[in-house]
Amino acid sequence: MGRYVARWITAGALGVAGVVALSAQAGPTDLPKVDAASADRGRTVWVAQCIDCHGSQARGTDKGPNLVRSVLVLHDRYGSELEPFLKKGHETQSGTPSASFTHDQVVDLANFLRQRIDDTLRGSPIFVVQNILTGDATRGAAYFNGAGGCASCHSPTGDFAGIAGRMSPVDIQQRMIFPSLGGRGRGRGRGRGAAPATTAPTQVVTVAVTPPGGATVSGALVQMDDFTVTLRDASGNIQTFRRTPDMRVVKTDPLQAHHDLLDRITDQDMHDLVAYLETLK
Amino acid sequence: MTRLPLVFGTVVLAGVALAAQSAPGSLDPHAFAKPATTSWPTYNGDYSGRRFSPLTQVTDQNVGSLSLAWMYRTSGGGAIKATPLQIDGVLYFANPDNVYAVDARTGRERWHVQWKSAGGIHIGNRGVAVLGDWLYFETPDCHLVSLNIKDGSERWRQTICDLDLFYYASAAPVVVKNHVITGVSGDDLDVPGYIESHDPTTGALQWRWYVVPQNLGDPGADTWPSLDAMRHGGGMTWQPVTYDPDLNLIYVATGNPQPVVANANRKGANLFTASIVALNPDTGKMVWYFQSSPHDTHDWDATQAPVLIDDVVDGRPRKLLAQASRNGKFFVLDRTTGKALVSSEFVKTNWSLGFDAKGQPIPDPKKMPQLDGALVTPNQAGAANWPPPSFSPATGLFYVSAARAWSIWYIYDPSDNPQGWGGTDRGGYSQSMIQAMDYKTGKVRWSHVWEGSARSGLLTTAGNVLFAGGPSNDIVALNATTGDALWHAGLNASVSNGPITYDLDGRQYVIAGAGDTLWAFVMNR
């Protein structure tokens, strides 16, 4: 289920005043915090003792279970569950008795495993876009100059000159499809979004209002709903009109061609266009 | 709750033994079969999920005279996403870690309870349930709690999920007979969704139904590639159930499968995720299912309300169920059998290849998330989301807060064994609207497109009025027959819950939550 915004954790006894705001999180408040140096040491132990059965990312193999999904590991706090388990004896790939692991080694392993769990969460360092340059630049150029209608507003030697040097491929893709976001399209949840575009669009939605029997007033759209419309006219004045059935209101969105493209462009067209724009170094 | 066993290896969730027992606290199964006028006694006002009121004091002709009666600003918990219950002149609602009792006539606080939290995601709370003198609510740190409605004092608490497994609790419980039906939330890690029934008096677990099969050979197991995949297959039960007392069936809408986006290790339909499921509330046994999003890969959990509609065909009554699903599809089912009668769209989508013989959508593999991106409509937020829809028997129309929205979907984890999400969508262009659906044909009767973004729960009344949140931090009244805008009032934030209405002392109130504030409107006189 999509979550839009993480909010607050409040604390305080039932019926007792006083609210403490903490940062929102998915798990319990005592969720282990990974010590990176310890996790690195744990990786060494992992490679020597565990990796053959449980895999490089602890997601299991035919010989051993997935530990990212292990209830024991998920309940663990810096070895609190792992150490008693290993003390009972568990097969290791080197033959070293697991009961001989030192407390520090177990803590290191616990940190390594918690790091693997965290890596599965949105916002983890490995939660990033892969290679998206799969299109054909020649076809992309043809679409740019033909069916896409891009050339009617954009030029490879004008506003798009050197665009590949200013923006990453995924930013080009996002900006091209969703220009109203200025290339700031972000993954939802806690995923990493695209970096902000280096040049923000300056497109302005305008509106022309013609009251019954009155002159047309035009300007930049400030706000509009079913009941009122507000614009900023050429003098910078803000004007608000109460909408009536006989009032003519015409909105002009300079990005409308991009919005209309959403229903026409294919994924192949999209990838070809990115490949073409990526040639504009 | 049975404590889950510690097992080194895969998550093994033991079956929970049936512990059903007779209890002194029980509800007449027909108590909420019809909409009330002087109260709003359950999440949807009644069991049907219609959110339709027979009140007629406020009409499409006089709604312009609706005026502010009072406002109540909460003191903790964030936005009000809960639908308040109104019982004996008191409103009861919750937001995360907080429960409020507010005078329904004046907005004065009766009591406020804060819960000491041990964690969990505090994204929202959908509300409370009440049976007699007792209130039930869920907490982000995985508890079901019972309070005395007179003063908020605690009667009991039960653990309903495991925080360490990244579950949390946000749903509104629903009382059916002597069962408190509770759902669970959370889709960060790959854990199974389930729904439970608890004894209203003691809190004891009566039954648990897992959304995904837990053992080979279980119903639906053949739609998963492995035991490990299905035991970690997700399917959270985020939203309150609806209930038909004559059929004695609760209708559960289930969430998305796990891993959410990268899906290489869960090939198949992934039952019973993203489905509408009919369960016997006394046993937790499944009677039928319909999968709204087979093999979902876009976080389109199908937890939108299953709304019960009673129709007459050839002079004979017919029991129907309608859902405007997050994936943009509109379904009308026979709620006795689960068979689809209508499968259509309430907004245009681009991700499916039509419908199969059961009326279920056929996903287009090309529109599943890709390494280089796939442009898909709807986006992750969906063509609809959790805000509850409404059905008016007076107009015969099903209303839903909808969006035509696009985003690009990426696979981030190209391995053959992804975990968690393994991808997401980015970007977006969205157009918000209210869609009024003719449930007999599955076609859009009218569409009210908002200038800006708006998505709220809906309410319809016999006065031919549809109440919704508008795009200008306002509550808006539309003509329910035509969709024409009639009235609005500015609030402090966009409407964040489903509006309700009730009559007290001969005056019809309309209540909506916006951000941290509850707003009450009443007719001038």
Q: Which residues of A touch B116 (CB under 8 A)?
A: 11-14
Q: Supply the DSSP string of A17-44, one letter for each residue.
A: ---EEE---SSBTTPPPP-HHHHHHHHH
User: Which pLDDT band, with edges at 50, 70 and 90, does B513 fall under?
Assistant: very high
Give the Å distances, CA to CA, from A271 to A280, B371, B372, B373, B379: 15, 11, 8, 8, 19
- The residue in chain B having the minimum alpha-carbon distance to the alpha carbon of residue A171 is B427
Measured distance CA(A109)–CA(A196) in Å, rounded = 38
- Provide the mean pLDDT of chain A: 86
- The answer, yes or no, to whether residue B21 has pLDDT greater than 80, is no
- Is residue B129 within 8 Å of residue B175, measured between CB atoms? yes
* Chain B hits for A118, Cβ within 8 Å: none
Q: Where residue B139 falls among pLDDT bands split at 50, 70, 90? A: very high
What residues of A are in contact with residue B8 (Cβ under 8 Å)?
65, 70, 72-73, 85, 90
Q: What is the pLDDT of residue B219?
A: 98
CA distance B236 to B255: 5
Interface of A with B in 219-238 (CB under 8 A): 223-227
State how far the Cα of B44 lies from the Cα of B317, in Å rounded to an integer. 23
| Average pLDDT score, chain B | 94
pTM of the entire structure?
0.92
Q: What is the pLDDT of residue A126?
A: 87
**Which pLDDT score, from 0 to 100, does residue A202 have?**
58
Per-residue confidence at B28, pLDDT binned at 50, 70, 90? confident
For A75-108, how does the pLDDT look when each residue is reduced to its tens digit (9 = 90+)? 999 999 999 999 999 999 999 999 999 999 999 9
Q: Give me the residue label for tokens 């934030």.
A: B493
Q: Which of residues 157-196 of A touch B (CB under 8 A)?
A: 170, 173-174, 177-178, 180-181, 185-189, 191, 193-194
Min Cα–Cα distance to chain B from A265, Å: 9
Each residue of B87-109: pLDDT tens digit? 999 999 999 999 999 999 999 99
> Residues of B with CB below 8 A from A270's CB?
373, 375
Percent of chain B whose pLDDT exceeds 70: 95
Average pLDDT over residues B152-165: 98
Note whether A194 contacts B426, CB cutoff 8 Å. Answer: yes
Q: Do B122 and A9 touch (CB under 8 A)?
A: yes
pLDDT tens digits, one per residue of B324-383: 999 999 999 999 999 999 999 999 999 999 999 999 999 999 999 999 999 999 999 999
Going from the C-alpha of A119 to that of each of A113, A160, B71, the distances in angstroms are 10, 37, 45
pLDDT of residue A196 exceeding 60: no
Give the active site residue among B97, B199, B299, B516.
B299
pLDDT at res. A18: 28
In this prediction, residues B3-9 reach a mean pLDDT of: 33
Query: Is the predicted pLDDT of residue B504 greater than 80, yes or no?
Result: yes
Evaluated on CA atoms B395, B400, B405, B407, the torsion sign reads: negative
| pLDDT-derived band at B35, boundaries 50, 70, 90 | confident
Nearest to B87 by CA among B53, B52, B48, B39: B39
CA distance B126 to chain A (A): 14
Q: How many CB pairs under 8 A join A and B?
A: 266
Q: What pLDDT digit, counting tens, does each position of B77-87 carry? A: 799 999 999 99
B299 is a catalytic site residue:
yes
- Give me the pLDDT at residue B24, please: 52
Q: What pLDDT shows up at residue A182?
A: 55
Q: What is the mean pLDDT of residues B392-402?
A: 98
Residue A14 has what pLDDT?
27
Check CB contact under 8 Å for B366 and A267: yes
Separation in Å, CA of A153 to nearest CA in chain B? 20
Instruction: Indicate whether A231 pLDDT > 50.
Output: yes
User: pLDDT at position B27, please?
Assistant: 81
Q: Please judge whether A9 and B188 are an interchain contact, meaning their C-beta atoms are less than 8 angstroms apart.
A: no
Phi first, then psi: what are they for A147, rounded to 5°?
-60, -30
Interface test with A, best of B74, B190, B429 (most A CBs within 10 A): B429
The predicted structure's pLDDT at residue A22: 33
Q: What is the pLDDT, as a whole number, of residue A46? A: 98
DSSP class per residue in A145-184: HTTT-GGGT--TTTTTTTHHHHS-HHHHHHHHH-GGGTT-
Q: Are A188 and B381 within 8 A, CB to CB?
A: yes
- The average pLDDT across A33-60 equals 97
- Which of B373, B385, B451 is facing A224, going by the closest CB pair? B451
Residue A193 has pLDDT above 80, yes or no: no
What confidence tier does B29 reach under pLDDT thresholds 50, 70, 90? confident
Chain A interface, best mutation among B377, B412, B447, B482, by max A CB count within 10 A = B412
pLDDT exceeds cutoff 70 at A237: yes
pLDDT over 80 (residue A183) = no
Question: Which residue of chain A comes nearest to B98, CA vs CA?
Answer: A10
On chain B, the residues whose CB falls within 8 A of the CB of A5 are: 123
Residue B114 has pLDDT above 70, yes or no: yes
- The per-residue pLDDT for B350 is 98
Give the Cα separation of A256 and A264 in Å (integer).
13
Q: What is the pLDDT of residue A4?
A: 34
Question: For residue B364, which of B305, B432, B455, B297 has the smallest C-alpha distance?
Answer: B297
Within 10 A of A216 (CB to CB), how many other CB atoms are there?
Answer: 10
Alpha-carbon distance of B228 to A64, in angstroms, equals 12
Q: Verify whether the Cβ–Cβ distance B188 to A177 is below 8 Å.
A: no
Instruction: Tell me whether A10 touches chain B (CB under 8 Å).
Output: yes
Cβ separation B154–A194 shorter than 8 A: no
- With a CB-CB cutoff of 8 Å, which residues 37-96 of chain A face chain B? 57, 59-60, 65-75, 81, 85, 90
Subunit contact A7:B471, Cβ cutoff 8 A: no
Mark which residues 193-212 of A lie under 8 Å from B by CB: 193-194
Per CB-CB distance under 8 Å, the chain A contacts of B490 are none
Q: Does A25 touch chain B (CB under 8 A)?
A: yes
Element (H, E) at B63: none
Quick one: pLDDT band at residue B484, thresholds 50, 70, 90?
Answer: very high
Q: What is the pLDDT of residue B304?
A: 97
For the stretch B219-259, pLDDT in tens is 999 999 999 999 999 999 999 999 999 999 999 999 999 99
Beta bridge partners of B408: B375, B426
Q: What's the pLDDT at B2? A: 33
